[in-house]
Amino acid sequence: MRAENSLPIEHESVLVYSKRMLSKLLTRVPYPVFGVAPKFHRRVAAKHGDILHAHFATDATTALPLISYLNLPTVVTLHGYDVTVRDDTTRKKFAGNLYLKARPELWQRAQLFLCVSEFIRQRALQAGFPEEKLRVHYIGIDRTVFTPQRGPREPLVVFVGRLVEKKGCSYLLQAMKKVQEQMPQARLAVIGFGPLRIPLEKMAGELGMRAEFLGRKSGSEVRSWFGRARVVCVPSVTAASGDSEGLPTVIMEANAIGVPVVGFRHAGIPEIVKHNETGLLYTERDSDSLAAGLLQCLTDDAFWAAASEAGIKQVAEKFDLSTQTAKLESIYNQLIATPVL
């Protein structure tokens, strides 16, 4: 099952749902409530799968009727909001309330929960997930696509992400105002879209700082911007709802290309950004320190070169897609070999 705007897949998909309201009312909304979709279940079963892997616990609870029907080993990857958003906030939404009610059944039925960072594992424990079923598994990136680019760099800071509260772009704007006061040639490119785009553009204007809001960009375009940038900034913060990052892949992508990352000491980010080694990290919402870190990366050539090479090396050692996929396949094989009770 996949959304109609997701990446293309080689084989025929069993179900494509639309974000249009009528499609949601007829398919997505009733299914987690009633769990009745005989044709869909039979079509999935006809694929003769060996394992079921769901991403996000919220989606896994939606799939509980299918999990029960197939009786296959089930793996769930925990990414972020599915274990960090506070329960009192989640209950305000109908779907969130369904998720909380169904979660104990998911804890029982799933054989393994893969956590994208140690931070997410700790938050899953706090949420009540069974400790014996939790395992950290980093998601890798394709290093044949994200390759080191060691050419000249512009005095450019790049932000990539959805323009929502937890991404912390407002703190980057405040920091860049201070950076540009000391280094007028420094530029900021904001790549991404979201509900805060207009307020953030207004904020940039009120601050009197320069920022390009570029909207959505393709993967190749993002890589091109990374290849020009001196710094990638990841100023993520904990949202009012508790929503937090897991481990942003944009950090791995930037490091693989050779760009140091400056950001906040938030969620799983310190598991990949090593302060004073592969980048610089500061206390959440401290825009003054963030500005100082950005200036250091923009002006200190020796530090920049060392952090660039350290980041490239770390991605090769810990976040290579081929290596991490082989580890995931090994996990699959272990679960397949164990009968589902």
In a domain, 149, yes or no: no
Per-residue confidence (pLDDT) for residue 103, from 0 to 100? 95
- Same-domain status, 118 and 131: yes
For residue 146, tell me if it sits in a domain.
no
Residues 220, 259, single domain; the answer is yes
Q: Indicate whether 109 and 182 sit together in one domain.
A: no
pLDDT for 143-199, tens place per residue? Answer: 999 999 988 999 999 999 999 999 999 999 999 999 999 999 999 999 999 999 999
Q: Are residues 290 and 244 in the same domain?
A: yes
Structure confidence at residue 3 (pLDDT): 45
> Can you count the helices (H) and strands (E) in the chain?
16, 12
Task: Please check whether residues 166 and 98 belong to one and the same domain.
Answer: no
pLDDT value at residue 23: 54
Cα 59 from Cα 90, distance rounded (Å): 14
The DSSP symbol for 18 reads: -
pLDDT tens-digit map of 238-275 = 999 999 999 999 999 999 999 999 999 999 999 999 99
Same domain, 200 and 129: no
**Are 95 and 115 part of one and the same domain?**
yes
Tell me which residue of 289, 237, 245, 257 sits closest to 158, measured CA to CA: 257
- Each as own residue / partner, the long-range contacts of residues 296-300 (CB below 8 Å, 24 or more positions apart, any chain) are 297/230, 297/231, 297/260, 297/262, 298/155, 298/157, 298/179, 298/183, 298/186, 298/230, 298/231, 299/183
β-sheet bridge partners, residue 3: 17
Instruction: Answer yes or no: is 129 within a domain.
Output: yes
Rg, C-alpha atoms of the chain = 21
**Is 234 inside a domain boundary?**
yes
Q: Do 163 and 92 reside in the same domain of the chain?
A: no
Which residue's structure tokens are 């979201």?
194
Q: What is the model's pLDDT at position 150?
A: 87
68 and 160 in one domain? no
Say if residue 188 is in the same domain as residue 245. yes
In terms of C-beta density within 10 A (0-12 exposed, 13-18 middle, 19 or more buried), how is residue 284 classed? middle
Q: Is residue 308 part of a domain?
A: yes
Provide the domain limits for residue 34. Answer: 2-141+321-336
> What pLDDT does residue 341 have?
72
Per residue, what are the HEC states of 117-154? CHHHHHHHHHHCCCHHHEEECCCCECCCCCCCCCCCCC
The Cα 170–Cα 173 span in angstroms is: 5
Of 191, 198, 180, give the one whose Cα is nearest residue 215: 191
147 falls within a domain: no
- Assign residue 178 the CATH number of its domain: 3.40.50.2000
* DSSP 8-state assignment for residue 275: B
Residues 195, 216 share a domain? yes
Ranges of the chain with pLDDT below 50 = 1-5, 21-22
Number of folded domains in the chain?
A: 2
242 shares its domain with 117: no
The answer to whether residue 31 is domain-embedded is: yes
- Kindly state whether residue 341 falls inside one of the protein's structural domains: no
